[in-house]
Copies of this chain bind each other. A is one copy, B any other.
Amino acid sequence: MKKQRIAILGASGYTAGELAGILLRHPGAEIVAATSRKNESLTFADHHPRLRSRIDLACEPFHPELLASKQVDFVFSCLPHGASANAVKQVLSLGIRVVDLSADYRIRSPEDQLLWYGEGHHDPENLKHAIYGLPEMEASKIANAQLVANPGCYPQTVILSMAPLLHRDLIDAESIVADCKSGISGAGRSPKLGTHFPECNESVSAYQVGIHRHTPEMEQALNALSKRKSRVLFIPHLIPMDRGIFATVVAIPTTDVSPTDLLNHFKYYYSQKPFIRIVQSLPATKNTTNTNFIDIHPTVARGKIVVLACLDNLIRGACGVAVQNFNIMNGWCQKTGLEI
C-alpha cells in the first residue's frame, strides 16, 4: 500500500477534524497539507485540540502551488458549498484526485441545481465527470473517478432505506416521507443563535420542511433505481445531541409483504456491503456513533412500510464515507482505516 500524500481543504470545521483523526490511523494516508481561510496563525491542532500531539501541521491559505510543492496526491475538500467548487476546479487541473465533501458536485440536473440552490453551477465542466460517491451503489464508477462527490448525510439514510424497495418495485415511489432527526454538529461549526446551547438544548424543532437541498439529491439517486420517478417529502429535525442521524422513512407498499420477508430481502440486498448492518431490533443512533456503519431496520406497520436507519453524521455521513471512497479509488479494501 503506497501512502497517498493528502491535503485537507477547509481545515477548521468538524468534518476536517474527524477526517484527520481517521487518516492519522490509516496505513495508506499521510496528511501533508491543510488549508484554511481564517485565523491563519492557528495550526490544525489548534482548530482541533483533540488531535494535539497527534498532528503537527500548519494551516495555509489555499493555493494550487501549495499542493504542487507538497507533492499532494489526493485532496479532501471540506470547504462549504460554492467555495469548494472554486478550489476543486483548480485541484483537478493539476491532475490530483479529489473527494469533495460539499454538495457542489452532487446534483447533475441544471434545472434542479437552479431550483433548489437558486443559482447555476460554478463548475459545469467538471460536474460532467463527477461521480456520486455512495459506495453501496456506485463502487465501480468511484474506483476510476478523478472527482467523487461525497454524498450528504441525510440522503445516505433515505437512499439506502428505499433502494431495496424500489429495486423490486415494492413501494409507490411518490409516497416517500422521510422524517429525519439530526444531531447539531450537522449544522456546522459557525456559531448562530439557533445552535447556541441554551436555544437548542432540551428542545426539538423542524426546519426547511419540504424545501431542504438534500431532497433533489435523494430523488436523483432513487430515480436511478426505478422506472417511476420518486418524490420524497423530506422533513429534517434538530435534536439536542452532538452527532447522529435517525431516519424514519415511510412509504406505501404496492403489494403485500411481511416484515420477515422484508428483513430477509434487505439482508440479501446488502449482503456484500461491509458497512450496512440490517438489524432485527429497533436501531438507535448511539450504536453507530463513531463508526462508519449504517444500521437499517425495515418493517411493516399499519399497512405501510417503515424503514428506520441510523448513522453518525460526521463519520458515515461525511468523512468516514469519504475515506471509504478514498479506499475504493485506490483499489484498497473498503474497510481500511475505518474499523473504529
Contact = CB atoms under 8 A, between A and B. Distances in A.
A288 B49 CA distance: 9
Nearest to A279: B52
A58 interface: no
Interface string A3-39: 0000000000010000000001100000000000000
A237 B182 CA distance: 13
B201 A250 contact: no
Contacts of A24: 339
Interface string A176-207: 01010101110001111101111111111111
A173 to B, nearest CB: 13
Contacts of A243: 198, 202
A277 interface: yes
The oligomer's copy count stands at 4
A248 B206 contact: yes
Interface string A229-242: 00111010101111
Contact of A198 (B185, B206, B306): B185
A339 to B, nearest CB: 6
Given A198-B185, A242-B198, A233 B205 contact: no
A324 to B, nearest CB: 15
Interface stretch (A68-76, A158-166, A296-304): A296-304
A63 interface: no
A284 interface: yes
Contacts of A340: 25, 340
A277 B209 contact: no
Contacts of A244: 202-204
A291 interface: yes
Interface in A326-340: 339-340
A181 B202 CA distance: 12
A215 B310 CA distance: 25
Nearest to A50: B287
Given A242-B198, A339-B54, A177 B250 contact: yes
A191 B199 CA distance: 10
A290 interface: yes
Contacts of A250: 177, 179, 233, 235
Contact of A287 (B52, B179, B191, B301): B52
A101 interface: no
Contact of A211 (B52, B190, B301, B303): B301
A120 B287 CA distance: 38
Interface string A288-327: 1111010100010111101010100000000000000000
B206 A282 contact: yes
5 contacts: A197-B197, A202-B244, A206-B282, A209-B299, A209-B308
